Amino acid sequence: MAPTTSFLPGTDPLVDQADFAAEMVSGIDRYLDRLLQESGLVRAKRWHHDGKTINDYLLSIEPNRKRFSSLLGLKKSEESVVVREINQYTQNADGPLEICGTGDGFTIHAIEWSVRAGVTGEGLLLQPNRDPIANIIALPDCDWTPEMLVGLTSGIPEQAQFARRLAEAGCRIVVPMLIDRSNTWSGIPGVAKVNQPHREFVYRAAYEVGRYPISYEIEKILSIVDWLTGSEGETAHDPPLGAIGYGEGGLIAMYTAAVDTRIKATVVSGYFEPRESMFAEPIYRNVFGLLNEFGDAEIASLIAPRTLVVEASAHPEVTGPLEPQGERRGGAAPGRISTPSLNRVVRELSRARQLTQGLAEWSDLVAVEEGHGLPGSASALTLLLTALCGKGSELCPDGGESPRALNLPDAVIRQKRQFCQIMDDTQHLMREAEYVRESFWGKADRSTEESWRTSVEWYRSYFHDEIIGRLPMASESVNAKTRLAYSTESFTGYEVSLDVFEDVLAYGILLIPNGIQDGERRPVVVCQHGLEGRPQDVADPDVDHDAYHRFACRLAERGYITYAPQNPYIGETRFRELLRKAHPLKQTLYGFIVRQHEQTLQWLSTLPNVDPTRIAFYGLSYGGKTAMRIPALVMGYCLSICSADYNEWIWKNMSDRSPFSYLLSGEYDMPEYNLANTFNYAEMSWLISPRPFMVERGHDDGVAPDEWVAYEYARTYRHYAKLGWKDRTELEIFDGPHTINGKGTFAFLDRFLPATTDNTPC
């Protein structure tokens, strides 16, 4: 039946000829920019600084300190810290430390210390020849070795060797090694190497289990703090404890001092500024939800009233990932570090002072020549020593003689050892994750269908709030606009635009079978494209895409109303940049997709031929990812089909052995914070239950092997079977690639949502 109008009755004409996918991505970008600009107001609501007295202040910020520690995923070891020397010749656990170098008034030892099972810290210990006046943890930028910071090897100017200069002043110094930005060991041996910096490679695996590279490094510093202060903690007779760090070391020093009040004074050099643009920094600095409560000023306020010195030195210059060479794959996330203007540093420090109003002045800014100053200026080090030891603690004005190397550790082997230890720990956490999830799901009650429906709501809310990110409800009326797109013997197609938020739209293609009788209501199948896809890929009758095979059209020919939405994972790196903006705000792209689909279902439900109780979801690849997450939260979907995506999702993201691992790909958007400990694909399917759920899988699909899919689906099936719903779930594995098969899935739809009374194509 030919359409009678160029747009659907009850809608306005769609006249805009824009690229709606690009408009969608740009609109979400503007929305996130507003959230970033407003993040300071959000943070203010989470703090209640009370500066009437020091004690009042400390009590008022303690909840924020605990939340900061939790946000970083820190895990305190119950083991006693053991420090021992380690070098290429000796591992002496019981005897005296052997010297690997000497300086003016101190000896140098290569040490390692226990953190927890399988994880150690490593670095240098600078031991003064007299009783130390202070204990100081000196953290270099991650691309500086401890030997550089001590002056045992070349690489940085003498003026920047602040660990050496503090040791010459009589301090005991520990210089930890940090994971660097090279990519020597990034990859899977025998499979592929990648150009991701070591810190990013660790980040991708750690993020999925609720941790970060900085989590591991802070824990290493906390362990050495335990050792320096003794098992009972610092006493009045112990040397006072301080910290100083530059670049990534400055980040670690500041974060650790914010967490641990045993650190009495801290110098942060080459790392302090407003963080609303942290999305442009390297991804290994990302912390999920950080900016909702913590900017640098707020973190600084956790250090107050202890001394904080912010040294406005030049920041390490990072221009992005190394270019892939030879057989090394690309795909590392972009990220830059550059020196901020002095005004930006001063502005953020002024904000910190405002937060601590009522306290005595507690912070100092050491301004050096903007853009050129080296870390470890005499002013900064003097302020640190004065805060720790009182007046009269001064540096040697000219420094001592250069340290002499005797038996240096192999810095390359040490870096590999530390990198592999952390990666091994992420793999251990990956294997343990299913047992952690089992405990996490302990409150779910499967004794009856009603008890399940009631108890699962807590998990649904957690999934929305803590994993996906909960945006406000749509702020705009639907304001539907449509225009005629296709007219065939079987169906009529319309482009559709809907409003969601200011600047954020929903767009798709609606296919309506011809011959629907007045008053007849049909089911709808929402047909979701994958990565870089468009609605036309699945709903244009003249397009037969290798993966989609016109499945929206084929279902419309069977009598279903179909709707193919545009999802925002399009634009190559563009949508991944949105995710970088979203994560520090505790948001993801799926938070927007939830609201888009809610708005879409609301509109579809108003159409005269739609049965609003029978709207199903069917997505392939990234659309399959959507099929796991959106119906778990949007209860208006009565059925979900995940095609070419369902598998053991945690292994897929984290495995450092499998060629299927996302650790090897450019999809740095894939890891979801702490997902491993809360929701794998089986748990997501539990959120969909008792609604029908199906998995479509080709034997030759490169997403994952059949074994992973079957292993995880067994948990889905067991859940449905135990609750008496086993007829509501199916797994079809067909002999084919990453594609819509459209056989078992179509039959599944016909069984639960018959399009017509005789279940035959119209």
pLDDT 10s digits, 9-45: 999 999 999 999 999 999 999 999 999 999 999 999 9
Mean pLDDT value of segment 95-102: 75
Domain ranges of the chain: 12-29+457-752, 78-431
Residues 6+ apart with CB under 8 A from 101: 107, 108, 150, 152, 403, 404, 405, 406, 407, 408
For residue 62 the two structure tokens come to 């303690």
Share of the chain residues as helix, strand and coil, in percent rounded to the nearest 5: 40, 20, 40
Q: Sorting pLDDT into bands at 50, 70 and 90, what band is 362?
A: confident
Predicted confidence (pLDDT) at residue 761 exceeds the cutoff of 50 = no
Report which of 457, 752, 459 is spatially closest to residue 613, judged by C-alpha positions: 752
> CATH class for domain 78-431?
alpha beta
Dist CA 258 CA 702 (whole Å): 45
Predicted confidence (pLDDT) at residue 749 exceeds the cutoff of 70 = yes
Dist CA 362 CA 356 (whole Å): 9
Ranges 320-329, 414-423, 506-515, 680-689: which has the least confidence: 320-329
Which H helix or E strand runs over 746?
helix 744-752
For the chain, what is the mean pLDDT? 93
pLDDT in tens, 326-359: 899 999 999 999 999 999 999 999 999 999 987 8
Q: How many CA atoms lie within 13 A of 126 on its CB side?
A: 36
Predicted confidence (pLDDT) at residue 438 exceeds the cutoff of 80 = yes
Mean pLDDT value of segment 229-254: 84
12-29+457-752 topology per CATH: Rossmann fold (3.40.50)
Question: Is-contact 437 429, C-beta < 8 A?
Answer: no
More confident residue, 560 or 97: 560
Its pTM stands at 0.94
On the question of a common fold for 12-29+457-752 and 78-431, the answer reads: yes
Mean pLDDT value of segment 654-678: 97
Predicted confidence (pLDDT) at residue 410 exceeds the cutoff of 70 = yes
Local structure of 176: helix, strand or coil? strand
Predicted confidence (pLDDT) at residue 121 exceeds the cutoff of 60 = yes
Q: What is the pLDDT of residue 237?
A: 56
